[in-house]
Amino acid sequence: MVTKLWRRRKDAEPGAVGPLDSTRIPLHIAIIMDGNGRWAQKRGLPRTFGHKAGAEVLREILTDAAEIGVKVLTAYAFSTENWRRPSEEVSFLMELFSTYLDNEVDRLVEKQVRLRFIGNRQRLGAELQRRIESAEQKTAQGTGIELNLAVDYGGRAEIVHAARTLAQDVLDKQLCIDEIDEAQLAKRLFTGNQPDPDLLIRPGGDMRISNFLLWQLAYAELWVTDTLWPDFTPRHFRQAIFAYQQRERRFGGLKTSK
């Protein structure tokens, strides 16, 4: 049914999107929610309006991702470098994360979403930390899609953190140096035993990773659109998945013979 809807709109809007192949749905999709400030500025509004609009888009995309059958969605909301922004913008964002949790947590529980914050939460305010813990606890039994919200997240910081825990485990004689391998490091990342992202979506048009999931994105397919995050719709989301399904993933091997 959903498939038909997308097919019908195919000619009406730019960008190819056809019926999705249900056997090739990406298990894990990562999104850099970028372009909020530009979206607001284009409308003569303060940047904060863009952040507010962006939070609403996340709700829609999460619903669509669950419907499509995506298992994990990781959304980049605030990087370790975003502290460099003016303090008013940072405070607004922190407040927005708090409100988002307050408004969304019941809906997340109802929809069986399992929410996890990934990042360095010690630098967040005490109240926000409390709400994060409470939201994680309330959604911990969710059996549906997993939502990782990356706040004060940096890929480098995450790898450093994993390296420290490896060092500590060696000191504690829980692990020998020879046992340190990719699997041992990967399980110490915030994404723990989740699969690596198959697809990275970046709205806002910038062709860079901006310190997001540096380890986990090793073989992700990248899809960038000039559309700004507050204008991003489930149609764009499906367009990205459709494009992903046309790609050939080789993981360093050779083209599979037909």
Task: List active site positions.
Answer: 34, 82
Strand partners, 75: 31, 149
User: From the list Mg ion, ligand IPE, none, which binds 93 (C-beta under 5 to 8 Å, kind-based)?
Assistant: ligand IPE
Q: Quick one: 26 or 154, whose CB is closer to ligand IPE?
A: 154
10-39: which residues touch Mg ion (CB under 5 A)? 34
Tell me the C-alpha to C-alpha distance, in Å, between residue 211 and each of 76, 78, 87, 174, 216: 10, 11, 21, 30, 11
Is 33 an interacting residue with respect to ligand IPE (CB under 6 A)?
yes
Secondary structure of the chain: what % helix, strand, coil (to 5)?
45, 15, 40
Q: Quick one: 90 or 175, whose CB is closer to ligand IPE?
A: 90
Task: Please classify residue 138 by burial: count the beta carbons closer than 10 Å to its beta carbon, then call 0-12 exposed, 13-18 middle and 19+ buried.
Answer: middle
Are 145 and 62 in contact, with CB atoms under 8 Å apart?
yes
Window 137-156: contact mask with ligand IPE (x via CB under 6 A): --------------------
Q: Which of 6, 19, 38, 214 binds ligand IPE (CB under 6 A)?
A: 38
What are residue 229's phi and psi, to 5 degrees? Answer: -55, -45
- Region from 9-17, 35-43, 59-67, 234-242 binding ligand IPE, contact rule CB under 6 A: 35-43
Which residue number places its CB atom closest to ligand IPE?
Answer: 37
Window 50-79: contact mask with ligand IPE (x via CB under 6 A): --------------------------xxxx
Q: Quick one: 151 or 241, whose CB is closer to ligand IPE?
A: 151
Tell me the C-alpha to C-alpha distance, in Å, between residue 129 and each of 119, 156, 169, 213: 12, 22, 27, 22
User: CA-CA distance, 242 to 159, in Å (whole number)?
Assistant: 31
User: From the list Mg ion, ligand IPE, none, which binds 230 (C-beta under 5 to 8 Å, kind-based)?
Assistant: none
Is 82 an interacting residue with respect to ligand IPE (CB under 6 A)?
yes
Q: Which one, of 112, 93, 71, 81, lies nearest residue 198 by Cα?
A: 71
Q: Quick one: 38 or 111, whose CB is closer to ligand IPE?
A: 38
CA 99 to chain centre: 19
Window 201-230: contact mask with ligand IPE (x via CB under 6 A): ---x-x-x-x--------------------
What are residue 232's phi and psi, to 5 degrees? Answer: -75, 130
The CB-of-205 to ligand IPE minimum distance in angstroms stands at 9
Is 93 an interacting residue with respect to ligand IPE (CB under 6 A)?
yes
Tell me the C-alpha to C-alpha distance, in Å, between residue 194 and each of 39, 146, 152, 190, 213: 32, 9, 20, 9, 13
Chain contacts with Mg ion (rule: CB under 5 A): 34
Chain contacts with ligand IPE (rule: CB under 6 A): 32-38, 76-79, 82, 93, 204, 206, 208, 210
